């Protein structure tokens, strides 16, 4: 006789919703390009912040930029440069921005396409100066906007680059004030507390220099190549941008020398403090040495006049006190204490 084994239901798998085999699967909606535009007399300004794949498709659809330039926009590893083409310029610039999240300076890359009737800006992160100028152009009324754009793409490019370069000066002033506070702290006896602050200040200067150094030749190239999009009476404008860039570099060179001097001064102050401590300890060791010698000689198992008497004890103590007073006075006179 066989036994019937009851069929138990299979356990359901947790954490997974039942699949609807009959219903169609909807594909996710494609991302829309995040393109901002403002237009005026003879010029269109397109701004795309943090461009994505959808924005790349929009660029390829509306402009005939070289494929390598489009690739450079999305690579995020470009040095500052100016590439000249027959009908447009491709410019890559870097600007410093203080990242409060990590507490350090980072470089923000700004890619630009400049043509006779268009300006395309593609920052890989937020640039306050660019946002402010773009919003001003967008908020301007018709005649005011037309007057601004009527000067051409080269002038709008100059205003944008000039504002972004000038944004470095407030950061440099803060760095200068920080160095002054560190200098005061060194001479106020806080040398051991500001070692990390000195290191942080030096790192900020190094990061700033890494951003500014490769940009200097790029700005000189931009001054030379952007003239074809400038009116004749505006040729001198980019020279002002180069002057500001050189002032920034000169200030960074000065700050570099200052922070290195402060490090040397702080190390000297710390060394002098350690030397003072060692001098005092050495002086006390030398003072105690003859007292130890007298106590050792008196404690030897050798008979001497008055040994094992109260009088001998007080005589030895008097000799030790006298030697101590003489040694202290001598060391103070010599400046050892």
Q: What is the DSSP string of 196-233?
A: HHHHHHHHHHHHHHHHHTTHHHHHHHHHHHGGGGS-GG
In a domain, residue 165? The reply is: yes
Picking from 217, 238, 271, the residue at the C-terminal end of a domain is 271
Same domain, 311 and 289: yes
Q: How far apart are CA 92 and CA 307, in angstroms?
A: 94
Picking from 256, 271, 286, the residue at the C-terminal end of a domain is 271
Region 189-203 average pLDDT: 83
Region 218-222 average pLDDT: 90
Same domain, 245 and 307: no
Region 193-210 average pLDDT: 89
In a domain, residue 290? The reply is: yes
Same domain, 158 and 234: yes
Question: CATH number, domain at 67?
Answer: 3.30.460.20
Question: Looking at the predicted structure, is the pLDDT value of residue 6 above 60?
Answer: no
Percent of the chain with pLDDT over 90: 34
Give the pLDDT confidence score for residue 5 in this predicted structure.
Answer: 40
Same domain, 199 and 128: yes
Sequence-ordered list of residues with C-beta below 8 angstroms from that of 333, at least 6 positions apart, any chain:
none
At 257, the pLDDT band (50, 70, 90 cuts) reads very high
In a domain, residue 15? The reply is: no
Same domain, 87 and 146: yes
Same domain, 186 and 242: yes
Region 205-229 average pLDDT: 89
Mean pLDDT, the chain, whole residue set = 82
Percent of the chain with pLDDT over 70: 87
Give the pLDDT confidence score for residue 177 in this predicted structure.
Answer: 93
For the segment 26-71, what is each residue's pLDDT rounded down to a tens digit?
Answer: 545 567 778 899 988 888 999 999 998 888 889 988 898 999 999 9
Six-digit token pair at 98? 């203080």
More confident residue, 15 or 86: 86
Classified as helix, coil or strand, 117 is: coil
Question: Looking at the predicted structure, is the pLDDT value of residue 284 above 90?
Answer: no
Region 112-139 average pLDDT: 91
Question: CATH number, domain at 311?
Answer: 1.20.58
Sheet of 104-114: strand order equals 36-40, 43-47, 118-123, 104-114, 89-99, 81-84
Question: Looking at the predicted structure, is the pLDDT value of residue 101 above 90?
Answer: no
The pTM (predicted TM-score) of the whole model is: 0.74
Same domain, 41 and 117: yes
Same domain, 281 and 257: no
Question: Looking at the predicted structure, is the pLDDT value of residue 159 above 80?
Answer: yes
Same domain, 278 and 265: no
Same domain, 191 and 305: no
The distance from CA 35 to its chain's CA centroid, rounded to whole angstroms, is 30
Q: How far apart are CA 273 and CA 267, in angstroms?
A: 10
Per the structure, the count of domains in the chain is 2
Region 233-241 average pLDDT: 78
At 8, the pLDDT band (50, 70, 90 cuts) reads very low
Give the pLDDT confidence score for residue 16 in this predicted structure.
Answer: 42
Same domain, 230 and 321: no
Give the pLDDT confidence score for residue 29 in this predicted structure.
Answer: 53
Picking from 227, 242, 271, the residue at the C-terminal end of a domain is 271
At 3, the pLDDT band (50, 70, 90 cuts) reads very low
Q: How far apart are CA 175 and CA 9, in angstroms?
A: 73
Question: Looking at the predicted structure, is the pLDDT value of residue 109 above 70?
Answer: yes
More confident residue, 138 or 310: 138
Q: CB–CB of 241/161 below 8 Å?
A: yes
Same domain, 203 and 282: no
Domain encompassing residue 282: 274-334
Classified as helix, coil or strand, 52 is: coil
Lookup result for tokens 């944004």:
167
Q: What is the DSSP string of 23-46?
A: SPPPPPPPPPP--EEEEETTEEEE
At 248, the pLDDT band (50, 70, 90 cuts) reads very high
In a domain, residue 94? The reply is: yes
DSSP state of 307: T
Six-digit token pair at 107? 């470089």
Sequence-ordered list of residues with C-beta below 8 angstroms from that of 280, at least 6 positions apart, any chain:
337
In a domain, residue 74? The reply is: yes
């Amino acid at each position: 006789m066989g036994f019937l084994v009851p069929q138990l239901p299979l356990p359901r798998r947790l954490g997974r919703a039942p699949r609807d085999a009959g219903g169609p699967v909807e594909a996710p909606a494609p991302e829309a390009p995040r393109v901002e535009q403002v237009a005026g007399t003879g010029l269109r300004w397109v701004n795309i912040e943090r461009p994505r794949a959808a924005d790349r498709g929009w660029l390829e659809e509306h402009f005939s930029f070289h494929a390598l330039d489009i690739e450079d926009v999305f690579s995020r590893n470009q040095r500052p440069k100016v590439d000249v083409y027959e009908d447009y310029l491709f410019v890559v610039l870097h600007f410093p921005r203080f990242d409060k999240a990590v507490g350090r300076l980072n470089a923000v890359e700004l890619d630009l396409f400049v043509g006779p009737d268009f300006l395309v800006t593609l920052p890989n992160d937020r640039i306050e100066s660019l946002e402010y100028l773009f919003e001003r152009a967008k908020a301007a009324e018709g005649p005011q906007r037309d007057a601004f754009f009527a000067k051409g793409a080269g002038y709008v490019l100059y205003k944008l680059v000039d504002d972004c370069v000038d944004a470095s000066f407030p950061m440099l002033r803060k760095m200068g004030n920080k160095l002054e506070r560190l200098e005061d702290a060194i001479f106020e006896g806080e040398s051991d507390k500001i070692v990390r602050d000195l290191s942080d200040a030096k790192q900020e200067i190094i990061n700033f220099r890494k951003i500014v150094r490769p940009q200097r030749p790029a700005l000189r190239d931009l001054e030379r190549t952007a003239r074809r999009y400038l009116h004749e009476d505006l040729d001198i404008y980019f020279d002002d941008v180069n002057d500001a860039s050189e002032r920034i570099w000169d200030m960074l060179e000065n700050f570099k020398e200052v922070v290195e001097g402060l490090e040397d001064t702080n190390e000297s102050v710390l060394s002098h403090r350690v030397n003072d401590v060692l001098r005092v300890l050495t002086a006390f060791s030398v003072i105690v040495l003859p007292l130890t010698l007298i106590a050792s000689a008196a404690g030897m198992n050798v008979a001497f006049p008055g040994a094992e008497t109260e009088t001998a004890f007080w005589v030895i103590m008097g000799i030790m006190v006298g030697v101590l007073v003489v040694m202290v006075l001598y060391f103070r006179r010599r400046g050892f204490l």
